[in-house]
Structure 1
Amino acid sequence: MVKKPVSLNEKVTHDYDDIIHMEYPLKTTDYIKHPRMRVEDRAKIFAPFAALKGYEEAIAAKQKVVVPRIELSEESKEYLDLQLGKIEGLLLHGQHPIITVVFFQRDWERYGDGGEYIQFTGLVAKLNRTSRILQIVDKRIHLDDIYRIESEDLDTI
């Protein structure tokens, strides 16, 4: 675009001032090869993407420490049973304690009998001793897989 030379006293004009504020594409045409994209959709074009599918999962799997399941002693089993009794008592009174539980999660597909120990903290939703399930928020943990239960709410009982 070439600007016309003007003096300082004259109003500055350009060749395309009459069309600069027009919408594109024109609304009068029925044929639009590429319809106008919304701003939200246009932003997705520039979003990052994973060039290597599964790479992050493969790295995470390599970093996972696989260990065999630890058998609990009789004293540990009794202590866990005591803690579960306290949780059950609180649930019967309408209280939902916040606990931290360490449990064993098997990975049959990758490691056979091996797995990893996971620490999870949350509000106890349910405890069912018949089906041997402890539910913390929306995570269900089998009672046989629990290694340790800790909570300040249980220590005061």
Structure 2
Amino acid sequence: MKDKVKDRAKIFSSFNPLSTLEKALKAQEREKSEKLELDEPKIEEILNKISKLKPADKVKITYYDGQGYVSIEGLVSNVNLMDKSLTVVKTKVGFGDVYEVRVVL
């Protein structure tokens, strides 16, 4: 019986109930910044690059997430011209929030 209790304790020993709270606190620590207004040539450049993307292309995208600018790097899962969004891995980003697109080789 003691062995069963020890085995059960091992299963739960790595559980950290504060990890979610820690992540939430770190997210709040970020400085909030305003979204930058892009000029027409910059918007055209971004849309041109996005229009050439295909699923499985590896990209690095800098975008505005409502709090500030963040970057994500990964494979494109979807480019949806109808709803004007692209998905990198599982992160969906609206075209209007994209600040920079770089294809990574």
Per the shorter chain, which TM-score range? 0.7 to 0.9
1:138 Cα offset (Å): 1.8
Larger RCO of the pair (alpha carbons < 8 Å, separation 6+): 2
State the secondary structure of the residue aligned to 2:43: helix
Which segments of structure 1 move beyond 6 Å, counting only runs of 4 or more? none
Ranges in structure 2 where 5+ consecutive residues have no aligned partner: none
For 1:3-29, what per-residue CA distance to the aligned partner results, in whole angstroms no more than 9, with x for missing partners?
Answer: xxxxxxxxxxxxxxxxxxxxxxxxxxx
Q: TM-score, normalised by structure 1?
A: 0.55
CA distance in 1 between partners of 2:14 and 2:97 (Å): 41
Task: Count matched residues.
Answer: 103
Q: Which structure is higher in helix share?
A: 2
1:41 aligns with 8
> Please, what TM-score do these two structures have when normalized by structure 2?
0.79
Separation in 2 of the partners of 1:135 and 1:78?
A: 19
Cα offset, 1:139, TM superposition: 1.5
Tell me the residue number matched to 1:105: 65
Higher fraction of strand: 2
1:150 to 85, 102, 105: 102
Q: Do residues 73 (structure 1) and 73 (structure 2) align?
A: no
1:26-73 per-position Cα deviation (integer Å, ceiling 9, x unaligned): xxxxxxxxx54244312256557557x83x246414530110111111
SS class of match (1:83): helix
- Equivalent pairs: percent with the same residue? 17
Q: CA RMSD in A?
A: 2.5
- Amino acid across the alignment from 1:65: E
